[in-house]
Structure 1
Amino acid sequence: MKTNEERLQKIIEHLDGLRYITPETIPNIDLYMDQVTTFMDKHLSDTKRYPDDKVLTKTMINNYAKNNLLPAPSKKKYTKEHILLLIFIYYFKNLLSFNDIEQLFRPITDKHFNPADGMPLEEVYKEIFSQEEADLERIKSDILEKYQHSCKTYEDRGIEGEDLEYLRLFSWICELSFDVYVKKQVIEQLIDDLREEPSLKKKK
């Protein structure tokens, strides 16, 4: 069995290798759906859990449009703004419901998706992802802190070897999971608050 120290090193190496898609990487020409899925799969392959997983499929794109997460393409072609929204959706979809994502995205698509004036979506995207390096460092520090805390659990309990290693792994995973659970509740509460804002309520 791997040691928890080995698991920690593998996680840190993975996080060090993560890179977000820069707007400059996205083609300046409109893309057909097949080209969109190919682009996303190529540039987000490092984030997949399993090699055979698909980052994006035609069915997913159609579902996003059906659930009002993504504006309809023009003549079956997707713009750079569509790609930027799809990247945001990719990160949110495993955390939030479609309903929550739609609520969160509505002001973004209304005001920043091909705006006549004001800040374009590309600038919104750049501002958020410019924080990536600092955010990752904070995340790594937090993971390390939780790992170190788990190493002190079950001391003086007469437990040794693989049993102790596994109980400490379980403790580490529980602490990480509780953190995600609480933050998910905070995010959902913030989105629920948006639903109460008169200007942000869904138009019937």
Structure 2
Amino acid sequence: MTIDTNDLLNSILQSLERIDYIHPEEIPNIDLYMDQVTTFMETQLRSTKRYEQDKILTKTMINNYAKNHLLPPPVKKKYSKEHLLVLIFIYYFKNLLSIHDIETLLKPLTDTYFQTSDNFDLSAVYKEVCHLEKSRISSVQEDIKKLWNESSKSYQDAPSEDQEYLKLFAFICSLSFDVYIKKTIIEKMIDSFAEKTNDK
């Protein structure tokens, strides 16, 4: 592939090293009104947007999450630190999972750890997940490099003027297949978990 395409991949791989998350200590310990919640999320998650005009969360989204039982209702129109942690989980899940699957996945968390006085609370759950995800970045980078190298060896017999596009297409197909397989696994695990929960 051309040097431009290689540069793009290297830039993307380097950006993975800069992936960060909202640290629990960055979340206000005071309850927030809706406008404050949307402003906070917009500020903290701005770097995750694909396009500048994209919205991280809107009032309508948050109201729908509460209506669909993904998010516990606010207290006197105010949202706690735990509400914000749940909203962060929803934000990352919503591009991959259905509303129903997110509710199935989050309900045990909100039932058990939402606004509990125990030492092991929703912040502890969130911190552990973030730690696990950060620890995987280098292995994800290596997997992407391997797929890239395999794709760059494909379509050797294709017309030379089409090879760059076809190799890029192969690479995107490989990444998409990974996402498809992992999404399928996630859905099957959620379905299995839901069945066991319903059997109790």
How many angstroms does 1:7 deviate by? 2.2
TM-score by length of 2: 0.94
* Paired residues for 1:60-79 under 5 Å: 60-79=61-80
Q: One-letter code of the match for 1:83? A: L
In structure 1, the partner of 2:126 is 125
Unaligned runs of 5+ in 2: none
Distance of 2:179 and 2:18 partners within structure 1: 22
Amino acid at match of 1:189: K
Q: Which residue is equivalent to 2:112?
A: 111
Do the aligned partners of 1:112 and 1:118 also contact (CA within 8 Å) in 2? no
Alignment match, 1:173: 172
Q: Could you say what secondary structure the match of 1:131 adopts?
A: helix
- Deviations for 1:68-109, whole angstroms, at most 9, x for unmatched residues? 000001111100000000000000001000000000111101
Partner of 1:160: 160
Output the CA distance in 2 between the equivalents of 1:158 and 1:30: 60
* Letter in structure 2 aligned against 1:160: S
Deviation of the 1:202 alpha carbon: 9.8
1:187 counterpart = 2:190: no
Cα RMSD after superposing both structures: 1.8
- Rounded to whole Å, the distance in 2 between the matches of 1:158 and 1:34 is 54
Are the aligned partners of 1:3 and 1:165 in contact in 2 as well (CA < 8 Å)? no
Question: Separation in 2 of the partners of 1:192 and 1:148?
Answer: 35
- Report the alpha carbon displacement of residue 2 of structure 1 after superposing the two structures with TM: 7.5
Partner of 2:23: 22
Q: Which amino acid aligns with 2:186?
A: I
What is the aligned-residue identity percentage? Answer: 54
Alignment of 1:134-153 (within 5 A): 134-153=135-154
The one-letter amino acid of 1:180's match is: V
User: What is the CA distance between 1:133 and its match in structure 2?
Assistant: 2.4
Give the Cα–Cα distance (whole angstroms) in 2 for the partners of residues 42 and 189 of structure 1.
34
Q: Deviations over 1:147-195 (max 9, x none)?
A: 011111012x15324x211100000000000000010000000000011
CA distance, structure 1, for counterparts of residue 4 and residue 171 of structure 2: 13
Q: Distance in 2 between matches of 1:76 and 1:196?
A: 34
Counterpart Cα distance in 2 of 1:82 and 1:65: 10
C-alpha displacement of 1:117:
3.8
- Structure 1 stretches lacking a partner, 5+ long: none
